[in-house]
């Protein structure tokens, strides 16, 4: 199952007072719908149209609280919904969303079979409900195969249909429909119509996979003009990796004229598609006021988001803000140490140096407990060159000062011969008994 963010293809503006007969999108998709649908996008969720949109949702049975959640999703994550107006619902029922996913989905029968084996537990983990898979595998429409699966009870009483289309190596287009079992055919039929439109787009588009290969080869050969040309093709399709690389070109003025505003805008496009490095770059721009107004709070939020996705640069930056109390409610040195450590574990030198500086300052202030974490940095080579001798000396200092975890670590190192240290039963026993 592809992991996707709630980001959708931005659709063209639909009239608020009429159910849409044709589905048109910026993604070059146009579908004649087989029933009446209400399309909700950014325009409908804007302040100017909120009242009319709320009324339209009320007419199809969606209460105010749920309608506000729907609009909040659209406003915050660029989500587009199509609601079946002939089937009144009380929640997110009877709708189809179209979403961009950053990543890859199954493209062959073998890949689909492998994905289907892990799908049910992944869905159960995602929804925290007992989910039942009713269909999973590759299906074929207009001589094009794509991943499809149906499941029920992720939302009690609702059948969910999900289609996934690989557009570029880093971009998947996802359609998700949800409805009650007695009206599933209507949703299923419309999703197939949308699938045909997506397939038509894929077949009429450039070969994005070849463009990716050409861009990578050109970058390796430092033929940046050629790389830039291929990246623009991919970026136009919405490929997050291409958007990120284009932003780097604009930021540093490589091949093109340096344009910080354009760099910020392009990083933002990649970030909305879940590109963690782009999210980190946005954090740096907000922190320093580059291409946008200086905003430490937004910077901290960006670093936290990318850090949770595992980006070591973001983890180090968020840790620094926690340690200094910048962009957050209050300082939290303890939590900052945890974030520095996560970054250092991935081998990011600045995070390791920040930790060393903090622990050495603590040692100067007679905090002997700081010897142990400082020793572990050198022992594991977390962001610094491994130095076992230095680590052992630090552990011994801590152990002699009564730090229990250091004594246990020394016993284990010598008894098992860890970190390249020769086994030494005498030393192991001595530290065990101390």
Radius of gyration of the chain measured on its C-alpha atoms: 27
d(CA 84, CA 114): 34
d(CA 391, CA 386): 9
- For residue 42, pLDDT over 90 is answered with no
Residue 27, pLDDT score: 64
Residue 198, Cβ density class (10 Å: 0-12 exposed, 13-18 middle, ≥19 buried): buried
Residue 377, pLDDT score: 92
Closest-CA residue to 98 (of 74, 62, 76, 118): 74
Residue 208, pLDDT score: 96
Percent of the chain scoring above 90 in pLDDT: 55
At residue 60 the predicted structure's pLDDT band, cuts being 50, 70 and 90, is confident
Question: Which DSSP string do the residues of 138-187 spell out, in sequence order?
Answer: EEEETTEEEEEEEEE-SSTTEEEEEEEEEEETTEEEEEEEEEEGGGHHHH
Question: Which DSSP string do the residues of 226-288 spell out, in sequence order?
Answer: HHHHHHHHHHHHT-HHHHHHHHHHHHHTSSS---HHHHHHHHHHHHHTT-HHHHHHHHHHHHH
> Given phi > 0 = left and psi -120 to 50 = alpha, else beta, which region is 58?
alpha
Reported pTM: 0.83
> Given phi > 0 = left and psi -120 to 50 = alpha, else beta, which region is 177?
beta
- For residue 10, pLDDT over 50 is answered with no
- For residue 183, pLDDT over 70 is answered with yes
């Amino acid at each position: 199952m592809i992991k996707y963010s709630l980001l959708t293809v931005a659709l063209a503006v639909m009239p608020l007072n009429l159910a849409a007969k044709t589905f048109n999108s910026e993604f070059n998709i146009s579908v004649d719908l087989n029933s009446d649908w209400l399309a909700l996008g950014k325009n409908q969720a804007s302040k100017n149209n909120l009242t009319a949109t709320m009324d339209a949702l009320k007419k199809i049975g969606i209460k105010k609280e749920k309608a506000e959640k729907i609009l909040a999703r659209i406003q915050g994550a660029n989500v587009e919904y199509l609601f079946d107006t002939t089937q009144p619902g009380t929640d997110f029922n009877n709708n189809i969303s179209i979403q961009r996913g950053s990543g890859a989905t199954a493209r062959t029968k073998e890949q689909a079979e492998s994905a289907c084996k892990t799908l049910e537990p992944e869905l159960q983990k995602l929804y925290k409900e007992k989910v039942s898979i009713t269909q999973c595998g590759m299906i074929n429409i207009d001589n094009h195969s794509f991943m499809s699966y149906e499941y029920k009870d992720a939302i009690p009483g609702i059948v969910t249909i999900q289609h996934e289309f690989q557009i570029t190596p880093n971009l998947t287009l996802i359609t998700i429909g949800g409805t009650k079992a007695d009206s599933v055919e209507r949703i299923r039929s419309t999703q197939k119509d949308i699938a045909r439109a997506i397939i038509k787009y894929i077949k009429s588009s450039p070969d994005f996979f070849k463009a990716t290969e050409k861009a990578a080869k050109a970058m390796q050969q430092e033929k940046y003009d050629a790389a830039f040309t291929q990246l623009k093709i991919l970026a136009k399709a919405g490929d997050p990796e291409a958007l990120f690389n284009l932003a780097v070109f604009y930021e540093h003025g490589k091949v093109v004229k340096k344009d910080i505003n354009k760099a910020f805008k392009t990083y933002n496009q990649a970030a909305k598609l879940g590109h963690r490095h782009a999210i980190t770059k946005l954090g740096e721009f907000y922190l320093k006021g580059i291409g946008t107004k200086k905003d430490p709070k937004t910077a901290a939020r960006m670093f936290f988001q990318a850090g949770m996705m595992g980006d070591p640069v973001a983890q180090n930056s968020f840790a620094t803000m926690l340690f200094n109390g910048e962009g957050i409610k209050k300082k939290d040195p303890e939590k900052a140490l945890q974030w520095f450590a996560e970054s250092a574990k991935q081998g990011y030198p600045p995070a390791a140096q920040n930790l060393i500086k903090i622990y050495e300052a603590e040692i100067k202030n007679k905090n002997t407990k700081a010897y142990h974490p400082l020793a572990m940095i050198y022992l594991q080579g977390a962001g610094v060159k491994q130095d076992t001798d230095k680590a052992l000396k630090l552990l011994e200092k801590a152990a002699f000062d009564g730090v229990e975890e250091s004594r246990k670590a020394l016993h284990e190192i010598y008894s098992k011969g860890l970190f390249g240290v020769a086994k030494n039963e005498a030393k192991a026993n001595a530290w065990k008994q101390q």
